[in-house]
Structure 1
Amino acid sequence: MVFPGDANHHGTLFGGVGLAHLDKVAFLAAARHARRPTVTASCERIDFAAPARIGEMVEATGRVVRVGRTSMGVEVDLWAEAPVSGERRLCTRGVFNMVAPRQEGQGDLPPLPANGQNVGDGWLRAVEMVFPAWTNHYGTLYGGDALKLMGKAAFVCATKEARAVMVMAASNRIDFSESIREGDMIELASRATKVGRSSITIEVELWSEALLTGERRRSAVAEFVMVAVDKAGRSSPIAKPENSPPGHGFAA
């Protein structure tokens, strides 16, 4: 989400913040491919084609397009999406060159997979990196920041499902089962499990992944109730989509 703290004096996403998103996604894509320490070496031409405005969602995607002996090229895109209308526009595109130096006993980087496309499974997914500012005195992800990320994931999922202004009405249950360490990648998977007249129940899973080993753990799971509201802040009916996916029953 583009909040005011991410924007410039024009009310649009500050270019430096956009570049930080892209660099982070390039790092995660390259590190997951290499499974060894990875750093940014350079970035090629970055084109800013359109702005992302305050209140819009941004989606940063990256994929490894070139692999050498110790270097990788990652193509990154940044899209903006208007939450209510669903209008999408490509804001920024570029290529980041990432390097994963050999350590003793290691060979060249693995080649590109023959088919890198992911099959949709009904979950909306987002990734983040656990940096020191998010950790507690034990060196693990602070619970408050985990809740913040899960709440944001629930908001984005509900907004994309309803195409309405959504607010959080309740968190039914939150279970923490595994700690998340500094340097781990976290994946937030969210989906709508029930759609009522004006509310949507969202299930959110928080997964952690050790980038060097690929070990994955489901660290937390939560359920949030999100409600559509009008301009006065009162609950508002959700318009039923023409082709709602199976299992998203509309309750009276």
Structure 2
Amino acid sequence: MNGGPATRLVDIVFPTDVNHHGTLFGGTALSHLDKVAFIAASRHGRAAFVTASCERIDFAAPARQGELVEAEARVIRVGRRSLSVEATLTAEAPLTGERRLCTRGIFHMTALRDPDDPGRELPPLAEAPEDEGGALRMVEMVFPDRTNHYGTLFGGEALAMMGKAAFVAATRHSRKVVVMAASQKVDFVAPVAVGDLVELVPRVTHTGNRSMTVEVAFWAESLLTGARRRSAVGAFVMVAV
């Protein structure tokens, strides 16, 4: 995939995500692609984007229940107020690491006109930076259904995201069935507002005979300004069973 820097969204195929065949429901796959395309567009243009259209999307292989799915997107074309994003969805078997491309599509995103700067154009396409050492970075969006009565991310939702990130990191590290044994200290240091992007960076910091400690850094990012703040950090003990 050529173009700007990659944005990746990693998730797990849970029973509520599958159809009667036990594979990822096509609508959920499309939702993953559209979401990661939106995030990639927003990070590039720092504007309010909407999906204008998508080109034909072919499903080449299924993603099965219990597998990891990784949606990746890159901006490949930029106009004055619109851009195109190539997005792919790859399934990964958690125990073997076997990966297969499930689908690929092109999404065309349009920036809404800014009333304070109606003549503003999108920045040109930049060269993709070098890979950051293969570090796992998981992104998500904060929608209203994930917020509390203050309009900020509910703490339980943040813990769920961090636990999922720890599970993915531990599974990829060990290639074994893992479960969470304990949640160690978790510090919440800054709120996350509705509409923010969250980026989780899990890192295995200790391994024993059957257990691993995964530290998860939780970052919030404003889609319109790019301002980032470290909102939480925690450590989770995962055990191979």
Coordinate RMSD, CA, aligned: 0.9
Q: How far, CA to CA, are the matches of 2:42 and 2:82 in structure 1?
A: 11
Note if contact 1:66-1:72 (Cα within 8 Å) is conserved in structure 2.
yes
Residue 116 in structure 1 maps to residue 133 in structure 2 = no
2:53 equivalent in structure 1: 42
Partner of 1:153: 165
Cα deviation per residue 1:124-180 (whole Å; 9 max; x = unaligned)? Answer: 111000000100000000000000000000000000000000000111110000000
Residue 32 of structure 1 aligns to a residue whose secondary structure is helix
Amino acid at match of 1:200: M
In 2, Cα distance between equivalents of 1:85 and 1:101: 44
SS at match of 1:124: coil
State the Cα deviation string for residues 82-135 of structure 1 (Å, max 9, x = none).
Answer: 00000000001000000003324242110001x213422463111000000100
Q: Which residue of 2 aligns with 1:206?
A: 218
Residue-by-residue CA offset, 1:41-83 (whole Å, 9 max, x unaligned): 0000111000000000000000000000100000000000000
CA contact (8 A) 1:47 1:92 kept: yes
Kindly provide the CA deviation profile for residues 195-244 of structure 1, in whole angstroms up to 9, marking residues without a partner as x.
Answer: 11111110001100000000000000000010100xxxxxxxxxxxxxxx
Q: Does 2:204 match 1:227? A: no
Report which of the two structures shows the higher radius of gyration computed on alpha carbons.
1
- The residue identity in structure 2 corresponding to 1:223 is A
What fraction of aligned residue pairs are identical, expressed as a percent?
Answer: 63
Are 1:134 and 2:146 matched, yes or no? yes
SS in 2 for 1:29: helix
Amino acid at match of 1:150: M
User: SS of the residue aligned with 1:227?
Assistant: strand
Alignment-derived partner of residue 5 in structure 2? none
In structure 1, what residue type is equivalent to 2:56? R
What SS does structure 1 have at the residue aligned with 2:71? strand
1:107 aligns with 2:120: yes
Equivalent of 2:33 in 22, 31, 35: 22
User: In structure 2, what residue type is equivalent to 1:54?
Assistant: Q
Query: Any idea what SS the aligned residue of 1:190 has?
Result: strand
Q: Is the 8 A contact 1:102 1:108 kept in 2?
A: no
1:61 to 68, 72, 86: 72
Which one of 178, 181, 203 corresponds to residue 190 of structure 2? 178
- Give the distance between the partners of 2:130 and 2:27, measured in 1 at CA: 29
* Number of residue equivalences: 228
CA distance in 1 between counterparts of 2:71 and 2:174 reads 22
TM-score under structure 1 length normalisation: 0.89
Q: Secondary structure at the match of 2:94?
A: coil
- Which residues of structure 1 form unaligned runs of 5+? 230-252
Query: Structure 2: which 5+ residue stretches go unaligned?
Result: 1-11
Answer 1 or 2: higher relative contact order, Cα 8 Å, separation at least 6.
Answer: 2
